[in-house]
Homo-oligomer: A and B are copies of this chain.
Amino acid sequence: MSTEPGTASYPSRSAELLWGPRGRAGRGPRPGLSRDQIVTAAIAVADRDGVDALSMRRVAAELRVGTMSLYRYVPGKAELLDLMLDQVSDPGPGRGPAAGADWRQVMADHARGSRDLYLAHPWLLQVNWCRPVFGPNTLAGVELVIAGLAGLGLTDRERVTVMIAIDSYVTGFVRNQILYSRAAEETGISDEEFWATQHPVLERAMASGDYPELAKLAEDSFNAGWEESFEFGLQRLLDGVQALVDARRRPGYRSGSTA
């Protein structure tokens, strides 16, 4: 409390908001607004106009309400972002793993689902969360993955670490994709224009001889689609996990390296 608020949320406050009862004392006037309304409006603004356009004033305007009224429902912007994260992580009702799916399918589905989520709400990866506060919906996703890794002979810690690895890959990949492709509209410069400005610079760099291997690459080496690249890396990662699972089942096997 003594330090400046900065961008960081106060985790215990966010936890209360995420898990706490939504009771209300019956003394004053009825609230004309709800926390969910505010969170929904904020998500709409962030989706439509980007995270830079997300401000308390903007959200209030969206709801035709005074700016400071928001603070009756949300302690501050950081906590609002925490709530946005959890609301958007809601998988919807009845979203479980297909009954007969093997672990690899479950992991791949989860990875693709996360990717879709991040692409639909790019601000998820652009915001500096003070610290990931676990909300009910976030936790439900974790449960699904951990359950999908049950019964494979992995230790509990390995299951958790595999989950982290997959999440890291997805997060990092989509972050890259967003930086490259979404930024086009933010700068008002199309992808073609961007590469048109970069191309001569790169040509000169290649001609300099400082990057011999890069210069030898075929022209279209960087032209794989995002979707295709994502799948490729994901399958490599899952292949590696597969090797570990096989090793646990056939104890004679040795992995390419220990960890």
Interface residue ranges, A against B (CB under 8 Å): 2-3, 6-12, 15, 19, 50-52, 104, 126, 128-134, 136, 139-140, 142-143, 146-147, 150, 156-162, 164-165, 167-173, 175-176, 179-180, 183-184, 186-189, 194, 197-198, 201-202, 204-205, 210-214, 217-218, 220-224, 228-229, 231-244, 255-259
B15 touches A201 (CB 8 A): yes
7 tightest Cβ-Cβ pairs between the two chains A and B: A172-B172, A165-B233, A168-B172, A240-B240, A236-B240, A239-B240, A171-B172
Label chain A's interface by main secondary structure: helix
**A146-B213, A211-B140 given as contacts; is B220 within 8 A of A187 (CB)?**
no
Distance in Å: Cβ of A106 to nearest Cβ of chain B: 12
- Which chain B residues border A233 with CB–CB below 8 Å? 161-162, 164-165, 168-169
Number of copies: 2
- Contact pick for A160, options B157, B205, B217, CB 8 Å: B217
A180 touches B131 (CB 8 A): yes
Distance in Å: Cβ of A162 to nearest Cβ of chain B: 7
